[in-house]
Structure 1
Amino acid sequence: MTVPLFELPDPEQTDAELPVPRPRVIGRAESRREHAAPGSETAHEVTFVHTADWQLGMTRHYLGPEAAHAYTAARHEAIERIGALAAEVDAEFVVVAGDVFEDQRVSSRIIRRTLDALATFGVPVYLLPGNHDPYDAAGVYRSRTFVQACPDNVTVLSGDGVHQVRDGVELVAAPWAHKHPGADLVGRQVARLSSGDGIRILVGHGGVDEMTPGNGTSLIGLGSLETAVESGIVDYVALGDRHSVTSVGSTGRIWYPGAHEVTNFDHIEESPGHALAVTLRRSGAAREIEVAPHRVGQWSFRTISTDLGGLADIEALRARLDDIDDKSRTVLQLGLVGSISVADSAVLDDLLDECADRFAAVTRWGRADDLVVLADDADLGELAVGGYVRDAAEELFARSRSDDPDSAGSARDALALLRRLAGNAR
């Protein structure tokens, strides 16, 4: 395996734990180094894939066992699609800008399967430790499993500073050594750089001060980044931490690629599930850039808010949900407001039960969910039951109008259930 960049032996590690150096695999793009026409300045060009925030080992509490298994598999398959993308665009390397793993507790199975997938890429892969997987003594990257299983083409950017990928192309790494750095790690690297004539890619992780609430000491200062980009000290800033594809600032050279597979609902993550294919060209002061997002994720987490006032609104919601494609890989979060009758509530419950079977998961959006069920005389009149059941229904109906909201709510829920059972019995 390859020794992580800039890493010095840890005095607390035993000899058995120390990585064994092996030759680095540079990949198939050796011919694309630099060229110069007679009488002109040296020109440099590089194409690479920028991705981040895989957070492998992540789970979602609202997914049942079957859906959780499928979601985990999809997150692994998205890594394989990133490798395919690298081949498609003829990338020289892939850089993962932080949070490859969810935390240091990920299983050895996840570590080994991830490294097996990266071994098939055919080009170098650079992993930057982020806030979820910092390069500390208890971290994933120093674990025996990772050290033993790491393939030759994978390099951990474990120490900060400049690394020469090849002639004319440099990575500048700003890794997290622990979870609370207390400083702008990216800005610290910018301050150390001087101008050069090659292509320089700054790799960092964290929130940018102009986009992130608060004034945390580890926020990345956008001003210094834009100055470095505009002055030509840096040609591209590959960031991680934000889970939506985002171009930062006005230069068009500072990007978050977003998570490779969706991790949150679409009112929070606007455009997850992508990786960026980046091409940089530089000849003296002349510079060009191409950034193209490519879809690598397959799942979607949809938030739907709607006002329900009766059966017509419920049927409109049904039609809206029917129109959603790829239901088995879609998680629904419903925010339902308004008021409906007990009879309509029974219809809605049937719809939600149906959706639970068709979609990966269905959950209610607590902060935006305020649907009131009101019992009226028609609900009791249409309930086709008799005897003791009828007596119970009349008692529930009376309780549904109680001043005690908990008692009234429980009674309405019971009436709705009775309505459904009575309907199924006919």
Structure 2
Amino acid sequence: MSQSMYEMEPLFELDLPEPAPAPTRKKATPKRRVASAPPAPAVDPEVTFLHTADWQLGMTRRFLPGESQHTYAAARDAAVVRIGEVAAETGAEFVVVCGDVFDDPRVSTRIIRRTLDSLGDYPVPVYLLPGNHDPLDATSVYTSAEFVRACPANVHVLDKPGVIRIREGVSIVAAPWHTKHPSSDLIADQLAALGPSDDIRIVVGHGGMDSLSPNPDPSIVASAGVDAATTEGLVDYVALGDRHSVTSVGKTGRVWYSGAPEVTAFDNVETEPGHVLQVTLRRGGERSIDVQRHRVGRWAFRTLTQDMNSIADVDRLRATLSTITDKPQTVVQLGLVGTLTVAENVALDELFDEFGDRFAALTTWDREHHLVVTSDDADLDSLDLQGYAALAAAEIADRATDEPEARSALSLLLRLAGSRA
């Protein structure tokens, strides 16, 4: 018997979803207020740069013999290279050269091209200010075809007076020389044209200052004007060239001569050459300045004075010269005062011969060199001559005190006698 219809399997089944649970009502969570971040503290404007001047490339020194002249020129070129290295080491943003980059508008094309090659290797921009040795006149180095063609992209000539913005917050106030004989104080002219600014301002100028070298020259820089400008915050630093020794001027600590990067005169004139200045300026809530010196020069021009009255004094001078280091890069000028016999003076001449070879140069300081040479019996005794030769030497000795020619002849006899001993 077949199954009843009530026992038959269904033809299909519906797969219905489970009924969703009734939604539960969440309690409203109060929104939290997120406090806004405090504004970042304002950063005071700051800049670090290098200040240098008075390279006077192409300069020669009359007291240097030929070989030393070449070595000295090479040292001056090397100082320029070292300034670029200092810029990299200190993180300086740029370099300002405050006049007299070149010694003369007629410098050789070799000097121009080699200098620009060196500046092109600097890791930062370089700003060159024309000064009294290289003004922007009709013969200017800076407008020559050789300079224009060789000038790298990072080298800029400050050929127009006024304000040049280096970057946001930093400006240069340039006072270039367009003639060797300006008719006014070029820096005062630029300060008079300035109004207030939030920028860090660096004056780049050249020339003597009345507080150091008073004279009626109309181009001399008025110290009162730069002191007032730095005190009032109209400018933050006055970078100067012309004086070859590092010199801070005034009471603010913001007016400086950098000096020449390599020595150019003896230490009775230049007390502190051979440096470049690293300058850091801050402005804003804190207005401050930091100036540091970096030695880049290698040469020394020394002045020595001494009384000379015996052979012991000659020996003392020899000992002094022997202790000086770096002789091939040192020039010594001597101011000797006193009286020596001909024989003692021969010993001094031999000292000059020896140390003239050992030093870059050994010379006399004409203004302070007053040495008298006389003859006495000891000069003749040292010759040990007989007969006619002794009579002739005695006659020369009698005349030696008053006659330079006789003194030279007696000196020659003494030197010859010494060479035979």
Please report the TM-score for the alignment, with normalisation by the length of structure 1: 0.88
1:104 correspondence with 2:105: yes
SS in 2 for 1:318: helix
Contact 1:41 1:283 in 2 (8 A): no
Q: Could you say which residue in structure 1 is the equivalent of 2:33?
A: none
Q: Tell whether 2:72 aligns with 1:71.
A: yes
Q: In structure 2, list runs of 5 or more residues that go unmatched.
A: 1-37
**Matches of 2:163 and 2:208 in 1, distance apart?**
22
Instruction: Give the structure 2 partner of residue 350 of structure 1.
Output: 350
Cα distance in 1 for partners of 2:107, 2:239 equals 25
**Quick check: 151-160 or 303-312, which moved more?**
303-312
Q: 1:54 to 1:396 in 2, by over 3 A?
A: same
2:373–2:401 contact (8 Å) kept in structure 1: no
Give the whole-Å Cα distance in 2 for the aligned partners of 1:111 and 1:386.
Answer: 65
Question: Please, what is the CA RMSD of the aligned residues?
Answer: 1.3
CA separation of 1:228/1:356 partners in 2, compared to 1, >3 Å: closer, same or farther? Answer: same
Residue 120 of structure 2 corresponds to residue 125 of structure 1: no
Aligned equivalents of 2:395, 2:155: Cα separation in 1: 69
TM-fit CA distance, 1:287 = 0.6
Letter in 1 for 2:418: G
**1:161 and 1:174 in contact (8 A); partners too:** yes
Partner of 2:419: 424
Matched with 1:335 is 335
Instruction: Give unmatched runs, 5+ long, in structure 1.
Output: 1-36, 403-407
Alignment correspondent of 1:292: 292
Q: Does residue 414 in structure 1 map to residue 419 in structure 2?
A: no
* Superposition deviation, residue 95 in structure 1: 0.4
Counterpart-to-counterpart distance in 2, 1:158 and 1:388: 77
TM-superposition CA deviations, 1:99-149 (whole Å, max 9, x none): 000011100000000000000001000000000000112110000000000
Structure 2 CA distance, aligned partners of 1:113 and 1:230? 40
1:60 aligns with 2:55: no
Instruction: Give 1:413 deviation, angstroms.
Output: 2.5
For residue 155 of structure 1, what is the aligned residue in structure 2? 156
* Residue 315 (structure 1) aligns with: 315
The residue type equivalent to 1:276 in the other structure is L
User: Structure 2 vs 1, CA of residues 394 and 148 (structure 1 numbering), >3 Å: closer, same or farther?
Assistant: same
CA drift of 1:41 comes to 5.1
Give the secondary-structure state (helix, strand or coil) at the position aligned to 2:119.
helix
Q: CA offsets, 1:242-283, max 9 Å, x none? A: 000000111100000100100000000000011000111111
Q: Distance in 2 between matches of 1:154 and 1:125?
A: 5
Secondary structure class of the residue paired with 1:43: coil
Shift >6 Å, 4+ stretches: none
Match in the other structure for 2:383: 383
- Number of paired residues? 384
Write the distance in 1 (CA, Å) between the matches of 2:354 and 2:139.
45
CA distance in 1 between partners of 2:183 and 2:380 (Å): 64
- Check the 8 A contact 1:385/1:422 in 2, yes or no: no
SS of match in other structure, 1:283? coil
Tell me the percent identity.
57
In our comparison, the structure showing a higher alpha carbon Rg is 2
Q: What is the TM-score when the length of structure 2 is the normalising length?
A: 0.89
Aligned residues of 1:187 and 1:224 also touching (Cα < 8 A)? yes
